[in-house]
Homo-oligomer: A and B are copies of this chain.
C-alpha cells in the first residue's frame, strides 16, 4: 500500500499525501479538511510511508550503524543499549554489527555504507581497523574515546585510575599491581596512566613484574592473577583496567584460597552488573556506559543534522567501594 493508493482513496493527489506525511513544516500547508481525509484514508488502508523510498530521494536513511568488537563485554553492551534507546526515540533505525576482527569490521562498515547510514558509532580499535576512506561522508562518533580527527564521548578513565590509586594508597597499600588489556585500548591506557601517575608521585610506582597484559576477559583476569600469585613477592592490591579482568582475578584468588580483601585487594573498572554478583562484591569505578552510549548517540545526531563536531568533556566517574578492598596485611 503506497501513497498513491491513499491519494486515490482520499481523492487527492499523491503529492498531497506526501505533504501530509512529510513530518516537517511542509505538512502544515495542507488544508485541515484535506488533511483529515488523507489521514483517514491512510488509516483504513494501513498506510505507512516507505522509508526506503524516502531515503533514496532525500539521501538520508534515518538509520545509523553501531559497530562494537563484542557484546560480551557488558560495557559495550550498555553503550549499545543506551545509544539504541535515544536513537530509536528519535526515529532512527539502529544497524548493529559485532565485529571482533579487522576483516569482519571492514565488511560490516561496507554493509553499513551500502545501506546509506547517516552516521556511525564505533569504538576506537574497530575504527583503526578500517580504511578511513570507507567512512567518507557519514559522521563518526567514537565510543569511549576521542581524537583530534573524530569526536567522541568517553568516561574520565584517567581520573578513574587516579581515584583508584588514591583509594588504595589511603588504605595503606604500597605494593600495587595492574592488570591491563593485551590489545591496544585507549580507555584502558588512560586508566593506567592515571593510576601510574598517582603512584609515581607517591613514590610507589608498581614494579614491572606486577604489571601484566592479559586478554580483556574473565579468563584473562584469571590467568593474570594466577601469574601474580605465583610471584615470590606478590602485590597486596591489584587494579584491573576492566571489570571482567577483575572478576577473573577475584576468581583466581578464591580458587587459590587467597583471601580477598584481607590478603589481596582487587579493584575493577566499569561497574558492570556482575560486580555485585560475586562475593565479596567488587570495588570498582562506575564508568556510566549507558550515559556514554546515550550521549554518543545524541552527539552523532547533532552531526547528522549538520552541527560542527565539538569536543565533549569526559564524563565524571565515581569510585564504588565494595568488598574487595581493605588495608594490606601488614597494616592490620
A residues near B, CB below 8 A?
A: 46, 48-53, 55-56, 61, 63, 71-72, 77, 80-81, 84-85, 88, 91, 93-98, 104, 107-108, 110-116, 133, 136, 218, 247, 251, 254, 273-274, 276-279
Contact = CB atoms under 8 A, between A and B. Distances in A.
Contacts of A116: 50-52
Contact of A51 (B46, B81, B115, B247): B115
Given A94-B97, A279-B254, A71 B72 contact: no
A277 B279 contact: no
Chain A at the B interface: SS class: helix
B71 A77 contact: yes
19 contacts: A51-B114, A52-B115, A53-B56, A71-B80, A72-B81, A77-B77, A80-B96, A84-B96, A84-B98, A88-B97, A88-B111, A93-B112, A93-B115, A94-B95, A95-B96, A96-B96, A274-B277, A277-B277, A279-B279
B85 A98 contact: yes
Nearest to A95: B93
A105 to B, nearest CB: 11
A111 B218 CA distance: 37
Given A50-B116, A88-B107, 15 more contacts: A49-B114, A50-B56, A51-B115, A52-B115, A72-B273, A88-B97, A88-B111, A93-B112, A94-B95, A218-B277, A251-B276, A254-B279, A277-B277, A277-B278, A279-B279
Number of copies of this kind of chain in the complex:
2
Nearest to A255: B279
A116 B53 CA distance: 10
Contacts of A88: 97, 104, 107-108, 111
B97 A111 contact: no
Which residue, of A61, A93, A251, A274, has the highest number of chain B Cβ atoms within 10 A?
A93
A277 B278 CA distance: 7
Contacts of A71: 71, 77, 80-81
A48 B115 contact: no
A56 B52 CA distance: 6
Nearest to A96: B96
Given A98-B81, A107-B88, A114 B50 contact: yes
Contacts of A72: 77, 81, 273
Contacts of A49: 114
Contacts of A112: 93
Contacts of A278: 277-279
A97 B84 contact: yes
A285 B276 CA distance: 23
Nearest to A91: B111
A218 B93 CA distance: 30
A98 B87 CA distance: 11
A104 B88 CA distance: 9
Which residue, of A50, A52, A136, A247, has the highest number of chain B Cβ atoms within 10 A?
A52
Given A56-B56, A96-B94, A110 B48 contact: yes
